[in-house]
Amino acid sequence: MTVVHAPPVRLMHHDAAERPFIVIWEVTRACQLVCTHCRADAIRSRNPFELTTDEGRRLLDDLASFGAPRPLVVLTGGDPFERPDLPELVAHGTKLGLSMALSPSVTDRLTREVLVELHDAGAKAISLSLDGASAQTHDSFRGVDGVFDATMEAARMVREVGYRLQINTTVTRNTVHELPEILKTVLELGTTLWSVFFLVPTGRGKLLEPLTAAEEEEVLHWLHDVSALVAIKATEAPHYRRIAIQRAGVDEDSLDDVFPVGPLRAELRHNTEELLSGHEPRRRHPRAPIDVNSGRGFAFVDHVGMVYPSGFLPVSVGPVRDQSFPEIYRDSLLLQELRDPDAFGGRCGQCEFRTVCGGSRSHAYATSGDPLAEDPSCLYQPVVSA
């Protein structure tokens, strides 16, 4: 019997220059939390200039106009639950054939009643943030006491109501050692997808310390190790795709010889084995990461309707109040440049993996002011032909 192995990276089934794979819409910037890593300067009250219900409907109409396959749509914030018209927006997007997901903050607004209402309106998935393995770490990260316990309860409610659950975790040098314990919790909660965010020094995140490039490489290898336990998404670390390709070409028994294990990965491995000892979860075929990057299959719309390549790359490419979203996405000069990996600077422009990685454009911009520059968060040295 012939064994067919899945490719190490999933490719989009359409031209990323023509239509996005996923669009994140920040429906409001209002939020009752004060998270230390937040890319946005969240506010307590809604901005009177944020997109109205009718404008939001038109944006969703625009996204549906791409036709099949339509973009995945995530309504985020701030806290999207601060918008009273959220069920109406979800229902409208669902009616248009859009796959609607939500990324709320864990506050008193997140109740079973609201979750049921939004599920009935058509929302299929919810992502919750878990940035520490304990209340002490997570609550400090979120700026409010009691959020860790509330998140555990919210995650259980999300599953009971019938949503797919995604857990988002921002990793910094102060929290990286808690990843194995967070993984254990992620598995216990029945999580569908674990999205690990690699800190971009923007917004409040400038006050936190990101991993070094060497540490990030170690964490990405560890994430690939545990991807047989839960689907992994490495956010703002597209070189996870490079690692997946590199590892796919090496016999499993030789991986540690080809990619030597450093102290951080050794610690993460040891603690993972210890924490999961005796109740090893069912292993699955790892879900390959998808080839999507800022402006190339991905776009972000803020609360007042400005479009960006990413929520972590604060360079606007146009307002949906003046142009249709498809026009902005297809015609923006910056987005077109972001889709040309040969135009990238430094190592990223020379890298043999540039067409399926391209580096974190957000990290490049945050550290150099140039979204096309080399990504300093990647350790890899390209093999440059003479």
pTM of the model: 0.93
Exposure of 285 by Cβ count < 10 A (0-12 exposed, 13-18 middle, 19+ buried)? exposed
Mean pLDDT of 246-275: 95
Higher pLDDT, 39 or 256: 256
User: Domain 22-276: which topology?
Assistant: TIM Barrel (3.20.20)
Question: Residue 281: which pLDDT band, with cuts at 50, 70 and 90?
Answer: low
Residues 6+ apart with CB under 8 A from 31: 42, 43, 44, 77, 78, 79, 82, 105, 107
Q: Has residue 75 got a pLDDT over 60?
A: yes
Question: Out of 8-12, 88-92, 262-266, 359-363, which region has the weakest mean confidence (pLDDT)?
Answer: 8-12
Question: Residue 32: which pLDDT band, with cuts at 50, 70 and 90?
Answer: confident
**In this prediction, what percent of the chain has a pLDDT beyond 70?**
92
Q: For CATH 3.20.20.70, list the domain ranges present in the chain.
A: 22-276
Q: How far apart are CA 98 and CA 307, in angstroms?
A: 19
Question: Residue 2: which pLDDT band, with cuts at 50, 70 and 90?
Answer: very low
Q: Has residue 240 got a pLDDT over 90?
A: yes
With beta carbons less than 8 A apart as the criterion, state whether 81 and 114 touch: yes
Question: Residue 263: which pLDDT band, with cuts at 50, 70 and 90?
Answer: very high
Q: Has residue 39 got a pLDDT over 50?
A: no
pLDDT of 169 reads 96
